[in-house]
Structure 1
Amino acid sequence: MSETVDLSLATRPSDADAVPGLLQDLNALQGTWTEGDEETRHKMVVKARSLLQSLLTPREQMVQHTWADPGLNAALITGVDVGLWKLMVKNGVDAVHKVEDLAESLGMDPELLGRLLRHVCAMGHLEEVAQDQYKLKNFTKSMSLDVIGDGYVCLHGGIGRSPIEFYKFLRETNWRNPVDASHTAFHASYNSKVPNCMLYLGSIGMGPQMNHHMGGYRQGRLPWHHPKIYPVEQELFPGADTSPDAPLVVDVAGGLGHDIDEFKRNYPNHPGKLILQDLAPVIEDAKDIDPSIERMPHDFLTEQPIKGARAYFMHSILHDWPDDVCQKILARLADAMKPGYSKILIFECVIPRTGAYWEATAGDMLMMTQLSACERTEDQWHKLIEGSGLGLKITRFWSSGLSAVENVIEVQLA
C-alpha cells in the first residue's frame, strides 16, 4: 500500500521538536559572536533560517514562496526603476517618509505606492511609524545603491522567466542535466537566438545593471589575493621573473578590472607587469584602473597571446560554462604556460561533498537555469581539470575556511 500525507500536516509547524535545540544553538553562538566574525555569523544565519522554517507551517511556506516573495520582488524592482529608494535616502536616511509626499515627487499614484510599501514593511524591510508613514531599514537604505538595487532589475526584470519556466525546458529535454551552452532555459523562455543571457541583457540595455550586480555580489568577500586565502608573497612572487615586461598576472576575462586593480593597490611593489584581458567593448569601458595595468582585447576561446605568465587568473568565469567550453578555455591557457613556472589561479566556488551552504547552491541554480552551467564540487573540479587530457593538475584548493566564499584553485602543468 502506498503511503499518503495527511492534509493536517500542512497546517502544523514544520518541525516543532527542533525549535528548543535551535534556540539553544543560536544562544550559544550569539554568546561567542563579535562583529567581523563571519564564520560564526554564517552559522547563525543557517540556524536562524532553520528555526524560522521549523516554526512555519508548510502552508505558510507555500504562501511565502508563491505570493509573498514574488510580491516583494515586484515592489523592490518597481522601487529601483522609479527611483523610490534613492529618493527616500535623499530625503533622509533616518527620516519618516509619508507615502503621499513620495508619490507626489515620483509622479506615482499614492494608492499604488502605499500598497507596495505596505508589503515591503510586512516582509520586514521597513519600519511602520503610522498609517502610510515609514522609516528605512538598512536593507532598504542599501537598495539605493546601484550595486544592490540593480541586481533585482537585471536578474528578475531582465531574465527572471528562466528559473520560473525551467521545468518546461527540462520537460522538453527529457529531464537531462543541462550542459549545452547554446540551448539553455534562457533561450527557451525568451525564444532568443542571442548566444547567452549576459549578451541578451546588454542587447536590451541592462548591461550597466548587470555590471553593477557583479560588483554587488562580491561585496564583503575577501579578494583572492588576501593572505587568508592565497598568500601571493609566499606563493606567487618568489621565483617570478622580475623584469618590468615579464607578465606576472594575466586577468583573463577580467571585466572592468576590479580584481586586477585591487591587486595593484594591495601589492604596489609587485614584480613584473599586470595585464587585463576581455572582449574589446568591455576593455574600452575599463577606465577606472591603475594606468600601469595593460589593457588587452582578447577572446579566451582563441590563442592566448601572453606566453609564460607567472599566473593566469580567472574569477567566476568557468562557472558560466559547461565542461566542454571550459576545456577549450583551459586548453588555450595550457598551451601558453611555461612548465614548472606558470600557474592557473581559478577563483570560484567549490561545493563540499556534504553540508553545502545556501549561497553556493543558489549560485549553482542560477548557473543551471540561465547558462546550462554550474558551480562545481571538488570532485567535479578534479574531473574537469585533470580529466581533460590537457596535462593539467590541481596542486591545491586554497580557502579562507568561511562558508560560501570562493576558493583559489591552483593549477599547474602535470
Structure 2
Amino acid sequence: MSSQSRIAELSAVVAAHTHLIDTYLAENALPYPSFEADGPTELGLPAELEESRALVLQATQELNDLLQTPRDLLYNHHHNRLLYMKAIYRFDIAHQVPLDGEITYRDLAAIVGVDSAALSRILRLGIAYRIFREPHPGVIAHSPASRSIAEDSGISDWMGANTHELWPAAEKTVEALIKWPGATEPNQAGFSLAKGTNDPYLKELSKDPEKARRFGGAMSFFISGPKFSPNHLTDNYPWATLNSVVDVGGSHGDMAFALARKYPNLHITVQDLPTVVASAKKENGLNVQFMGHDFFEEQPIKNADVYLYRWVLHDWPDKYCVKILRALIPALKHGARVIVMEAVLPPFGVIPNDMERNLRAMDISMLELSNAKERDLDEWKTLFQEADPRFIFQGVKQPSGSNLAIIELAWEG
C-alpha cells in the first residue's frame, strides 16, 4: 500500500507526464500551449503523448476537486456560465474583434448596439474562462479559443445550438418531469416547454431552415474531434466487401463522405429530413447521394447491404427506436446488416471521472431534448429484440479512442 497521500500521487502523475509533453514539444520545435491569440489550437502530439495529456487532465481535475472544500465544489456550479457564450454568439463578437488586433469595449459596444458597461461585464466573465483576453484595461483581444470561434463556423454553430436550444431545454427539464413524470414521449421534454411546441425537437428545428442548418453544423463540429472521428467506423468494419450502404439519419453526410473517400466503389445514400438534406453541401467526385426521408416511414431503398444508424437512435425514447427499426424491415434482404454506432454506457464509476462527466452530460442532453437516452449493452440488446427477434445481434466493437461503439445486427427474416 502506498505511503503517499492521494494528492501527492496525483501531483507526481502531473509532473511526470507534463515533463514528457514539454520535452517532446521542445525537441520538435513545436509551440507551447498559450492563451495568447497565436497560441496553438492543437499540440500535434503522438498517440502515446495524447495518453499522457489525458492522464494530466484527469489528475489535475481530481487534484483540483480534492483541494477544494465541499462548499467550494457546490459553489463552482455557477448558473450563468453560458450567458457570455450566448452574448458572444448573438452579437457575433468573435468577428467584431480584429483577429490580429484589439478593440475597446466602448467601440465594440457601439458596433453591436448595447451598453458598453453591460457588455464588458459579460465578456470579462468569459475572459476569466479564457475566451478572449484583456491585454490592457478597457481593451479586448482574441485568445486561441475566441479566435477559433471566428475561424471555424462549426464552433460558432455549436455555440449557437448550445445557447439557443440546449440551454433553454436544460432549464425546463425539471418542470417537464413534474408535468410529464413518465418521461417517455419526445414532445414532453424540457425542450418542449422551453419552445412551447408539441413537436419533437428535430421536427421543431426543421421548421426553420437556419436553425436546422445551425444544428447540423453543430453536430458536424461535435463529431469532428478525435473521439468521434469517422475513421473509427471506416477502419473497423469490412466496407470493401460491400456494394451499397444507406446512411439513415445521416444529416449533412460527414460519415458518408468519409466512407466514400476510402471506399470509392461503395454506393452510399444519405437519408434525412428534407430540410436537413436541403442544407447539405455535396462533395464532387464522391459516390454519395442525398434523399429526403422520414425514418419513421417505410424504408424506400430495398435490398441494400448495410443500413447505418450512426448516432441516431440515442435521440429517441425506446418505443420510437423500435418504430424506426421496424420501418426498415420491409426493405431488408436476408443477411442484410444493420450497423448501429452509438455510445455503449459502462457501469457507473469504472471509467475516469472526466469521461464519466462527459458521458453523463450527453445522457442528460438526450433527456432534456426528447426524453431519449444513452444506453448500456443490455438495453441495446433488449431494444433490438423488441423491434423484432429476427434482428440477430452479431457483436459489439469499441474502437480504441472512440466514444462510440459499433454494434452489428444481421437480418435473418
Query: TM-score by structure 2 length?
Result: 0.82
Q: Is residue 255 of structure 1 aligned with residue 267 of structure 2? A: no
Q: Is residue 295 of structure 1 aligned with residue 300 of structure 2? A: no
Question: For the structure 1 residues 276 and 256, does the alpha-carbon distance in structure 2 shift closer, same or farther, using more than 3 Å as the test?
Answer: same
1:42-96 Cα offsets, whole Å, 9 max, x none, are 34333222222222333333333134xx1x32112111111111222xx224x34
Question: For the structure 1 residues 390 and 296, does the alpha-carbon distance in structure 2 shift closer, same or farther, using more than 3 Å as the test?
Answer: farther
8 Å contact from structure 2 (residues 322, 386) kept in 1: no
Question: For the structure 1 residues 190 and 279, does the alpha-carbon distance in structure 2 shift closer, same or farther, using more than 3 Å as the test?
Answer: closer
Question: For the structure 1 residues 20 and 127, does the alpha-carbon distance in structure 2 shift closer, same or farther, using more than 3 Å as the test?
Answer: farther
Shift of 1:39: 4.2
Question: For the structure 1 residues 262 and 307, does the alpha-carbon distance in structure 2 shift closer, same or farther, using more than 3 Å as the test?
Answer: same
Gaps of 5+ in 1: 1-16, 242-247
Shift of 1:373: 0.3
- What is residue 267 of structure 1 aligned with on the other side? 263
Shift of 1:326: 0.7
8 Å contact from structure 1 (residues 397, 410) kept in 2: yes
8 Å contact from structure 2 (residues 309, 339) kept in 1: yes
Which of 56, 72, 86 aligns to 2:68? It is 56
What letter corresponds to residue 351 of structure 1 in structure 2? Answer: L
8 Å contact from structure 1 (residues 229, 399) kept in 2: no
The correspondence of residues 46-85 of structure 1 with structure 2, limited to 5 A, is 46-67=58-79, 70=80, 72-85=81-94
CA RMSD of aligned residues (A): 2.6
Which of 331, 337, 345 aligns to 2:332? It is 337
8 Å contact from structure 1 (residues 151, 212) kept in 2: yes
- What is residue 411 of structure 1 aligned with on the other side? 409
Helix, strand or coil: the match of 1:350?
Answer: coil
- What is residue 170 of structure 2 aligned with on the other side? 163
1:267-306 Cα offsets, whole Å, 9 max, x none, are 22x24x2212122232233342346422222221122122
Shift of 1:209: 2.1
Shift of 1:251: 0.9
Helix, strand or coil: the match of 2:111?
Answer: helix
Q: Is residue 323 of structure 1 aligned with residue 335 of structure 2? A: no
Q: Is residue 149 of structure 1 aligned with residue 156 of structure 2? A: yes
Helix, strand or coil: the match of 1:263?
Answer: helix
Mapped to 1, the partners of 2:205 and 2:52 lie a distance apart of 37
1:179-209 Cα offsets, whole Å, 9 max, x none, are 222322322344322x112333344652232
Question: For the structure 1 residues 222 and 121, does the alpha-carbon distance in structure 2 shift closer, same or farther, using more than 3 Å as the test?
Answer: closer
Query: TM-score by structure 1 length?
Result: 0.82
Which of 173, 183, 188 aligns to 1:183? It is 188
Q: Is residue 346 of structure 1 aligned with residue 350 of structure 2? A: no
Question: For the structure 1 residues 353 and 199, does the alpha-carbon distance in structure 2 shift closer, same or farther, using more than 3 Å as the test?
Answer: same
Aligned length: 376
35-44 vs 206-215, which moves further: 35-44
Q: Is residue 398 of structure 1 aligned with residue 397 of structure 2? A: yes
8 Å contact from structure 2 (residues 216, 276) kept in 1: no
Question: For the structure 1 residues 127 and 275, does the alpha-carbon distance in structure 2 shift closer, same or farther, using more than 3 Å as the test?
Answer: same
- What is residue 130 of structure 2 aligned with on the other side? 124
Which of 306, 310, 313 aligns to 2:305? It is 310
What letter corresponds to residue 344 of structure 1 in structure 2? Answer: V
Shift of 1:112: 2.2
1:211-264 Cα offsets, whole Å, 9 max, x none, are 2211111122366752x55536x62323x35xxxxxx11111212222212221
Mapped to 2, the partners of 1:141 and 1:224 lie a distance apart of 23
The percentage of counterpart residues that share the same residue type is: 23
